[in-house]
Chain A
Amino acid sequence: MIPSRTGDDDFDDLFRATFEPMVRSLALACGDREAAADAVQDAFIRAYARWRRIGAYDDPAGWVRHVALNRLRDHFRKAERGRRAVERLGGREAIATVPAPADPSDVLVHVGELPQQQRIAVSLFYVEQLSVIEIATSMGLSEGAVKYHLHAGREHLRASLESP
């Protein structure tokens, strides 16, 4: 956990320490690097504007990650609405695509098969290497819920990756 202070230098330290791993883990969770980078940048901008308050938190990085996750959810909710609207207008057959056969050894494909909460929990745990408590803070869930999502996601990935 990054120690919290309230000066601009401290904000820069937090940004340098957490920006890259945060973008990578959220990009893995959502499958869209640009959307993840935009969400994390927006979250840092909001944190900078309120830094006197946010910097005094125990875990300002957790606040930034939480805001970024909310932004990502909004982004994909809007994208989903747009996709459904296009489907309604054009018909399902017109935009249906045949998915490429998945490589059974491709871990990205199997991560993409996980439900959203499991994807996020797995990404934050394995890529950003956060503790369960930090993940719970970032996702706005209880520790028990995070452990459940981690366990379910890991078992799914184990079954997929270890199957012949």
Chain B
Amino acid sequence: MSPDDLGFDPFDDRLGNELRAVAPSAPKADQALGELRPRFARARQRRRAAVAGAWGLAGAGALALGLVFVGSGATNRIDTPPASQPDRGTTTTPKNDVPTSTDPTAVVPGTDPDGTTVTTDDHGGNQGSGADEPDSDNGDGGSGSGSGGDDD
């Protein structure tokens, strides 16, 4: 008996002797071993069958998984034509198919043909401060408040 560090004393020897004396007897090991042999063999067979079944199941699962991957790869493939095909030419279209006016006499609103800027008098209705027409006298001064816009 290993006392370890439990602080054993003579009481423990007495207790151990008493317990070993009163402990129920057990079947003889050799006899029990002989009786258990068939159960041992059956247990090992069952165990091997279970392990083989589990491996088979795992293999089938892996195979199925592989097939799923292969199948999904085929359906998701994108077919692209070869980079150069002899019968396929490149056509270009002119970009300026939107007609634009090039008439020099055309007047762009807000510009005089001689190039000067034309402003229309809004009689002070413009929101401007009047800086463009310092001599304007028909508005309400340079305030440009917009309140006189309806003088006409």
Contacts and interface: CB of A to CB of B under 8 A. Distances in A.
A and B physically associate = yes
Interface of A: 12, 15-17, 19-25, 27-28, 33, 36-37, 41, 44-46, 48-50, 107-108, 111, 122-123, 125-127, 129, 131-132, 147, 150-151, 154, 157-158, 161-162
Given A46-B43, A48-B43, A157 B15 contact: yes
B47 A126 contact: no
B26 A50 contact: no
Given A111-B19, A127-B20, A131-B4, A15 B28 contact: no
B39 A45 contact: yes
Given A48-B40, A150-B6, A126 B26 contact: no
Contacts of B28: 20
B19 A126 contact: yes
B32 A49 contact: no
A161 B16 CA distance: 13
Top 10 A-B residue pairs of the complex, sorted by shortest distance between their CB atoms: A23-B26, A49-B47, A33-B24, A27-B24, A49-B43, A126-B16, A20-B26, A19-B29, A28-B23, A48-B40
B129 to A, nearest CB: 92
17 contacts: A12-B33, A15-B33, A16-B33, A20-B26, A20-B27, A24-B23, A25-B23, A37-B26, A37-B32, A41-B32, A45-B40, A46-B43, A48-B43, A107-B19, A122-B19, A123-B23, A127-B23
A147 B24 contact: no
A122 B46 CA distance: 36
Given A28-B24, A50-B47, A150-B6, A41 B36 contact: yes
Given A45-B36, A45-B39, A49-B47, A151 B23 contact: no
Given A24-B23, A154-B15, A129 B46 contact: no
A132 B26 contact: no
Given A122-B19, A126-B16, 18 more contacts: A15-B33, A16-B33, A19-B32, A19-B33, A23-B26, A23-B27, A24-B23, A33-B26, A36-B24, A45-B36, A46-B43, A49-B44, A126-B1, A126-B12, A126-B20, A129-B1, A132-B4, A147-B5
